[in-house]
Structure 1
């Protein structure tokens, strides 16, 4: 019994030491990213469905809040695949409130041009046109969205990447406007939570956001606002997904 107690104490000390070193390194990392991204920028987060902001981008949203960015959110659908659109729009607004995104900065597109349907390919030019309009109207200088893998492989996620990639490659973005895309990782890395942190540091990325314990609780509260989506497997996702704690992003 005494040996077991000593093992538990040793494990607790090691865990505390790891968290202390990690927290210290993250403070340094935050300063570095503040220099790279700039403070008090105007950022547009482009998502496909209500819950993307919490399920995938919470570390980015909260990390940008540390840098005093003004975050705008543009959601391209109401998430009406199961005829829950009205409910999901309300849930999105609740989640944004928890994450600190002003409700006046949230725009939800709810029309047949962008259906919530993985079997429908959104028109790249149309998506790009809507994106560019919101970038110009709001004076955006940083756009954040999915990468070519869409994190989950959802075609609606990938459509956003295709649109912003087209704007970037064709030189249509306003001068000084940058694009960050959220890196997709393999299934193993996706579900090992904070254990993915060493791997995230080893892999190439331009920006890395890691939440502290208080921010993780905030991200979980935001995800919990999406009550209509909290099936058993999403509850497991909240517990184990690295995207609830870690976001690695790359510039286009």
Structure 2
């Protein structure tokens, strides 16, 4: 079965409904697209907290349940619980789990090189390309070099130091 993120999201009808556009009151609707449950907490919790604190309306679209070990239903419920903790309405969190998108952001490296993370990034880029006539923004989580991932507290110190330069 051939499926694209664009087709599943509803093609041009979704964008024309204003699903990702400013609501007119300065508050933006923000769509976070993740590969599987836990990505929202592992990689995006600080960004989510910031956006919510600024009054933005956050939605989460999860491409799959991450059912690698038969725990897809459990992981899906964990996404809804995490959304509630992160102050995202559970009605604004959706898990597609479409069979044509099982191997489908992040940036092009996908933080850890995970194929699902990388494919989500590519799918969002394709979506933006197809709706280039709309005013949509997409942000990507920048992957750090492998060394930075494993030096822990030293990375925090280095990040602060380089942010001031």
**What TM-score, normalized to structure 1?**
0.50
Greater strand share, 1 or 2?
Answer: 1
Q: CA deviation at 1:74?
A: 0.1
Q: Which runs of 5+ in 2 are unaligned?
A: 1-24
- Higher Rg of the two aligned structures: 1
Q: How many residues align?
A: 138
Q: Of Structure 1 and Structure 2, which has the larger fraction of its residues in helix?
A: 1
Q: CA deviation at 1:197?
A: 3.7
Is 2:136 aligned against 1:182? Answer: no
Secondary structure at the aligned position of 1:157 is classed as helix
| 2:119 paired with 1:159 | yes
Deviations 1:39-62 (A, max 9, x none): 521100000000000011111100
Q: Name 1:146's counterpart in structure 2.
A: 106
Q: Partners in 1 of 2:46 and 2:150 — Cα distance?
A: 16
Q: Distance in 1 between matches of 2:29 and 2:40?
A: 17
Q: Is residue 39–residue 67 contact of structure 1 (8 Å, CA) maintained in 2?
A: no
Offset at residue 195 of structure 1 (A): 3.5
Long gaps (5+) in structure 1? 1-37, 123-144, 204-252
Query: Is the contact made by 1:148 and 1:158 (CA closer than 8 Å) also made in structure 2?
Result: yes
Alignment partner of 2:80: what SS?
A: helix
> Could you list the runs of 4 or more consecutive aligned residues of structure 1 that deviate by over 2 angstroms after TM superposition?
173-176, 191-203
